[in-house]
């Protein structure tokens, strides 16, 4: 059975993963880019974005773990597009260009129907309109014995957490304050649901926290 994970999920000291006001110019909201400062210098990110060599340290090792053994991804709409409401024929195919870094079927949670989009490198965006359980069921079917990664954003992760559907989370907590934004913890009692922190490792620019579901 597929293991359901969250990996390299960026949060600030005050628990936010993005700032308010996402737009085409500010994918993480104005100032929200700060939580990703640990990730951008890594070799993993540089190979994805620029095909150049990046840093290879503890932060990169954790980023690399999140790319291994993936059979499917699940993303909220905000992780795919800056637009809201019914889809328009504007040619948008995600933030990453023609060859996104997923390379497996990637399920997009949305309230509006959209035909699947095949991209380069093995990524196919599949749009799911009937909720998180349906998306996870489809993702597990295509992943087989490989992992299903819940990629975010915060609202999506929070929904899966509240339902107890995530087996393991890797959070990268950066030493910055956002003050406001989206949090995976809002209204969710992780301890009551059965999660516990099982590890903490200091990287070059962030602290890597592992949270697992007991049992």
> CA 123, CA 127: separation in Å to the nearest integer?
13
Predicted confidence (pLDDT) per residue in 14-33, tens digit: 999 988 777 777 777 777 78
Give one DSSP letter per residue of 111-171, joined into a string. SS----EE-GGG-EEEEE-S-HHHHHHHHHHHHTTSEEEEEE-HHHHHHHHHTT--SEEEE
Domains and CATH numbers, the chain: 4-89+96-167+177-213 (3.40.430.10)
pLDDT of residue 21: 76
Under a CB-based contact definition with an 8 Å cutoff, are residues 154 and 17 in contact? yes
Dist CA 144 CA 71 (whole Å): 7
Give the whole-angstrom CA distance, residue 107 versus residue 48.
Answer: 20
Low-confidence ranges of the chain (pLDDT < 70): none
pTM for this model (two decimals):
0.93
């Amino acid at each position: 059975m597929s293991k359901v994970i969250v990996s390299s999920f960026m949060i600030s000291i005050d628990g936010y993963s993005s700032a308010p006001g996402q737009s085409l110019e500010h994918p993480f909201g104005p100032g929200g880019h700060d939580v990703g400062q640990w990730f951008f210098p890594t070799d993993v990110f540089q190979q994805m974005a620029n095909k150049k060599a990046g840093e290879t340290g503890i932060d990169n090792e954790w980023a690399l773990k999140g790319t291994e053994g993936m059979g499917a991804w699940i993303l909220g709409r905000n992780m795919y597009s800056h637009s809201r409401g019914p889809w328009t024929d504007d040619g948008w195919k995600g933030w990453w260009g023609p060859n996104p870094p997923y390379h497996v079927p990637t399920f997009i949670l949305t309230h509006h129907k959209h035909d699947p989009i095949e991209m380069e490198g093995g990524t196919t965006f599949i749009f799911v309109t009937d909720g998180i359980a349906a998306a996870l069921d489809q993702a597990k079917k295509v992943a087989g014995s490989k992992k299903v990664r819940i990629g975010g954003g915060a609202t999506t992760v929070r929904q899966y957490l509240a339902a107890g559907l995530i087996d393991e989370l890797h959070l990268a907590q950066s030493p910055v304050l956002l003050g406001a934004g989206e949090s995976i913890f809002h209204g969710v009692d992780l301890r009551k649901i059965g999660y516990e922190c099982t590890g903490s490792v200091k990287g070059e620019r962030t602290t890597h926290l592992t949270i697992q579901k007991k049992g």
